Amino acid sequence: MRGPAIFLAQFHGDAPPFDTLEGMAEWAAGLGYEGVQVPTDPKLFDLATAAESQTYCDEIAGRLKAHGIEITELSTHLQGQLLAVHPAYEPLFAGFAAPQVRDRPAEWPAWAAGELGLAARASARLGLRAHATFSGALLWHTMYPWPQRPPGLVDEGFAELARRWRPVLDAFDAAGVDVCFEIHPGEDLHDGVTFERFLDAVGGHRRANILFDPSHLLLQQIDYSAFIDHYHERIKAFHVKDAELRPDGRSGVYGGYQDWVSRAGRFRSPGDGQIDFKRIFSQFAKYGYEGWAVLEWECCLKHPEDGAREGAPFIREHMIRVTDKAFDDFAASGADAEANRRLLGLEP
């Protein structure tokens, strides 16, 4: 595991140091971070140029390296969302689209696919192994089965999602980069079962992988530790984000349309919620996770700069240097095959 790193999307703004990529890299380094996950916002990062220009990518990487910072992954969460949007959600997602297609939802999937193709090539030029994104959703409005879903609806939804993603996954395969879908409510890939459905629909594509964020699993009451047991071979990216679920007699998992601060389920800064990060980091050590540990700040109470300041030492304290020997090696008997048979009461 590598880290600590921080996702810049929630910190980008109009005032220094948050108005430029280099400014945020210097700020992050000053807090003890070693990497940044970069949203492909044109104000921060020219995705089209990066896809075509090795010089541009080398210059970006060099300026960040001067501050002791690496790019961990690029993020196309907004573009991934627009690859599949049900018409009911078009007004709410219009702000995710580029100005030239914002008022033409029928063109969003093609625009998003083009952006993702650029991200694949840009990631390769930067020497990255993983990419963070959303899956989009055609079925989310049917998540709760009332009214009853007609037979075949879910199968067709995932078949269509796979048709849209398959050429994108192939583009990332050509670039040698894993697509890491953040398992997230509001996306058709929002739990293990839906990820498996999608994986089946894309023929087990080797580039279809997972960005593990335990906060979204806790708020669905999914065993996030067991999730790692099930899917560790496909987990290629990791958001360190905390959450808490405190249901009462008035509100539970669905939240009652309340603002985040009033919901039973809330995102918190790492260490302030209910997630057992010692267990998560132990699981990743057990399975040999080699990606980055990236803070994603989304707390309904704490100031973002305080969350960022606390995040680097929190991650560093939880990272485990994996042992290269067993603790009881000192007591090893050095027995050979014949000795083992004698210990079993068998003839050598």
Domain with 75 in it: 2-343
Mean pLDDT of 251-276: 97
Query: What 3-state class would DSSP assign to 213?
Result: coil
pLDDT above 80 for 346: yes
Contact between 74 and 123 under an 8 Å Cβ cutoff? The reply is: yes
Answer yes or no: is 348 within a domain: no
Name the β-bridge partners of 292: 2
Answer yes or no: is 194 within a domain: yes
Total domains present in the chain = 1
Confidence of residue 21 (pLDDT cuts 50, 70, 90): very high
For residue 79, what is the domain's CATH number?
Answer: 3.20.20.150
Per-residue pLDDT tens for 98-114? 999 999 999 999 999 99
Confidence of residue 187 (pLDDT cuts 50, 70, 90): very high
At 188, the amino acid letter reads D
Answer yes or no: is 246 within a domain: yes
Answer yes or no: is 16 within a domain: yes
Distance of CA 59 to the CA centre of its chain: 26
Mean pLDDT is lowest, of 63-67, 130-134, 338-342, for 338-342
Answer yes or no: is 23 within a domain: yes
pLDDT above 90 for 330: no
Per-residue pLDDT tens for 148-168? 999 999 999 999 999 999 999
Question: Is 0.75 topped by the overall pTM?
Answer: yes
Distance of CA 89 to the CA centre of its chain: 22
Mean pLDDT of 289-300: 98
Answer yes or no: is 130 within a domain: yes
Contact between 238 and 292 under an 8 Å Cβ cutoff? The reply is: yes
Confidence of residue 329 (pLDDT cuts 50, 70, 90): confident
Strand segments, DSSP code E, in the chain are 2-7, 35-39, 70-76, 130-133, 178-182, 208-212, 235-240, 242-245, 265-268, 292-295
Q: Which two tokens stand for residue 269?
A: 């800064």
Answer yes or no: is 261 within a domain: yes
DSSP secondary structure code for residue 89 in this structure: G
Place of tokens 């080398």: 58
Mean pLDDT of 203-217: 98
Q: Which two tokens stand for residue 293?
A: 């540990």
